[in-house]
Structure 1
Amino acid sequence: MTDAPPEEIATTDHRIAVQGGGLFARRWLPAGAGAGAPTILLFHDSLGSTALWRGFPEALARAAMLPVVSYDRLGFGGSDPARAPLGQDFVAAEARIAVPALLDRLGIGDFVAFGHSVGGAMAIESAAAFPKRCRAVISESAQAFVEDRTLAGVRAARTQFADPDQAARIARHHGDRTRWILDAWIETWLAPERSGWSLDATLARVRCPVLAIHGDRDEFGSDAHPRRIAAGVAGQSRLLLIAACGHVPHRDRPDLVVAAVVDFLREAGL
């Protein structure tokens, strides 16, 4: 008995015009994906981009047999530079501004929102904003409120990235916008006015199934975050705590994450 050949994946790149500039987006489309299948929309973390997902989107598309789309937020990766600092409403603003443009320009009907770190909060905001089109949410290492552990991790990163050699690691992916990206992450989270932020009100408006993934060694948040996410949504939820895993499960335990997501989506009928 021979192994089946790997599923063919077509990859295409796109430019999406939004308020403030243009976004870079990439789509992975399995040859066997059914017509009308929901698209998995990926939301990257505070220092991320499509390139930094590495091989995960293709692996997810292949295993789930669903289209996957990743995009770079304004100011990140291949998207246009941002013209202003992030506002404190930047998480909710992503669902109001970027997501409608992506869905429209890429012809996406129903979707699954998958977000890493702050992208997980953006995925949840998108589910609340599009209750009839968002079929499921996967939050990975998402923050649901401002925790002392999160702020301590951000302060440690501020010290780390004061070293030019460490900042150069980010510059390899973001070029001359590196300083803006670091400030957008660090200064926004450490601002006094952020102390009362939480996803509680948004979670109460989420009706679709939710999978909350978290590593037990996540340096940017305790397991209080996925527990709050899973308990706070109106729809069905599942919690996955990964042992001996830090803030980036899709990099540290990619096979486990892909398998968990595929099982979750199958149970949700997708």
Structure 2
Amino acid sequence: MARAGAEGTGFVEVDGRRLEYRMVGPAPGDGPVIVLLHEGLGCVALWRDFPERLAAATGMGVFAYSRAGYGQSDSRPLPWPLDYMTREAREVVPGVLNAVGAEQVVLMGHSDGATIAAIHAGQVRDARVRGVILMAPHFFTEPVGLAAIAEAKRAYDAGGLRQRMAKYHRDPDNAFRGWNDAWLAEGFREWNVAAAIDGIGVPVLAIQGEGDEYGTLAQIEEIEARANVPVERLILPDCGHAPQFDQPGAVLAAVGDFLSRRVAR
């Protein structure tokens, strides 16, 4: 296994599974590290050049990893439990942060990854976490999001989406079915993890596109209503579910400003 703190790519083992990672920018010993948590169909490779741009914009190291079932990481048995995001936040993220080896981290998540970041910050006593950046988070289901996920299933079953995912995921069926089957399960309609927000004890930056097809601004409003810490929000026009790609300049500027004011180095 490669040492996770070294710049480059490799694998770390957490809970008996190999997870791929990528580290760019300053080493963990040089200050806080931003830990990227990907979306429901993401992985290390699908962050594209965002980790490099984020490191350049903030002067901080950036660590991204692929959760089990994604990218080149080990698969996980199907079906995934309906609380898979809570389990990741509570059981896996601590081991990943141990592998990073940083004394200070900022959790930056997108979509499912944002939810995982918020749950970890709110439910796990972890003094290493100094800030949370949430892009297009989900705390409860909404009809618009479930409709978009159902449409993704149709695209996958038709073959086009599976073919695209196979370029980035060693086991695309594991990645897609695990995520999609959980979200479309009848019992998931009542899923709600908003109570995790109550326990967050570090500053929060919440980012969402006005055209997000997977969720409404009710998700951001829930953070503002429940949080007992400073919450800054960035709502972006001409932006869908992926602010880091639709409006990268605005996201990088906001993140850099937030970290310079809210996270001590």
How far apart are the structure 2 equivalents of 1:36 and 1:244?
Answer: 36
Matched, 1:233 2:227: yes
AA at the equivalent of 1:262: G
Deviates more, 1:234-243 or 1:77-86: 77-86
Task: State the 1:130 CA deviation.
Answer: 3.6
Looking at structure 2, the residues matched to 46 and 96 of structure 1 have their Cα atoms a distance apart, in angstroms, of: 17
Residue 66 of structure 1 corresponds to 60
Q: 2:24 — aligned with what?
A: 28
CA drift at 1:185: 1.7
In the other structure, the counterpart of 2:178 is 184
Q: Which residue of 2 aligns with 1:199?
A: 193
Contact 1:211 1:230 in 2 (8 A): no
The equivalent of 2:7 in structure 1 is: 11
Q: Which residue of 1 aligns with 2:3?
A: none
CA distance, structure 1, for counterparts of residue 79 and residue 102 of structure 2: 29
For residues 23 and 230 of structure 1, the distance between their equivalents in structure 2, rounded to whole angstroms, comes to 33
Query: In structure 2, what is the Cα distance between the partners aligned to 1:52 and 1:34?
Result: 23
Correspondence 1:249 to 2:243: yes
Correspondence for 2:51 among 51, 57, 78: 57
TM-score, normalised to structure 2, is: 0.92
> Is 2:116 the counterpart of 1:122?
yes
From 100, 104, 111, the equivalent of 2:98 is 104
Corresponding position: 1:170 with 2:191: no
- Give deviations 1:197-241, integer Å, cap 9, x for gaps: 222210000011111100000100011111212322211101111
Task: Give the counterpart letter for 2:119 in structure 1.
Answer: E
CA contact (8 A) 1:120 1:140 kept: yes
Contact 1:131 1:207 in 2 (8 A): no
* Partner AA of 1:166 in structure 2: L
Identity of aligned residues (%): 35
Q: Larger deviation: 37-46 or 224-233?
A: 224-233
The residue type paired with residue 15 of structure 1 is F
Count of paired positions: 258
One of 138, 146, 149 as aligned partner of 1:151: 146
Counterpart check, 1:261 vs 2:231: no
CA distance 1:84–1:263, change in 2 (3 Å): same
1:7 is aligned to: none
Give the AA of the match of 2:141.
Answer: V
Instruction: Please state whether the residue corresponding to 2:75 is helix, strand or coil.
Output: coil
Equivalent position SS for 1:113? strand
Is the contact made by 2:202 and 2:229 (CA closer than 8 Å) also made in structure 1?
A: yes
The structural deviation recorded for 1:35 is: 4.7
What is the RMSD of the two structures over their aligned residues, measured on CA atoms?
A: 1.6
Residue of 132, 135, 140 corresponding to 1:140:
135
Whether the 8 Å contact between 1:21 and 1:74 is mirrored in structure 2 is: yes
The answer as to whether partners of 1:210 and 1:230 remain within 8 angstroms in 2 is no
The answer to which of 150-159 and 100-109 deviates more is 100-109
For 2:77, the aligned partner's letter is: R
Letter in 2 for 1:151: L
Cα deviation, residue 261, structure 1? 0.5
**CA–CA distance in 1 between the matches of 2:190 and 2:160?**
34
- Partner secondary structure for residue 49 of structure 1: coil
Provide structure 2 residue ranges, at least 5 long, that are not aligned to the other structure. Answer: 1-5
Alpha-carbon offset, residue 63 of structure 1 = 1.0
Identify the range of structure 1 (137-146 vs 98-107) with the bigger mean alpha-carbon deviation: 98-107
C-alpha contact (below 8 Å) 1:114/1:120 kept by paired residues: yes
Q: Deviations over 1:67-117 (max 9, x none)?
A: 110000001102112234211121111122221212222212221010000
Q: Distance in 1 between matches of 2:16 and 2:91?
A: 10
Deviation at 1:118, TM superposition (A): 0.6
Contact residue 136 and residue 208 of structure 1 kept, 8 A = yes
Supply the AA of the counterpart residue of 1:133. R
Residue 168 of structure 1 and its aligned partner are, at CA, apart by 0.3
Shift of 1:131: 4.4
TM-score (norm 1): 0.91
Task: Assess if the C-alpha contact under 8 Å between 2:32 and 2:104 holds in 1.
Answer: yes
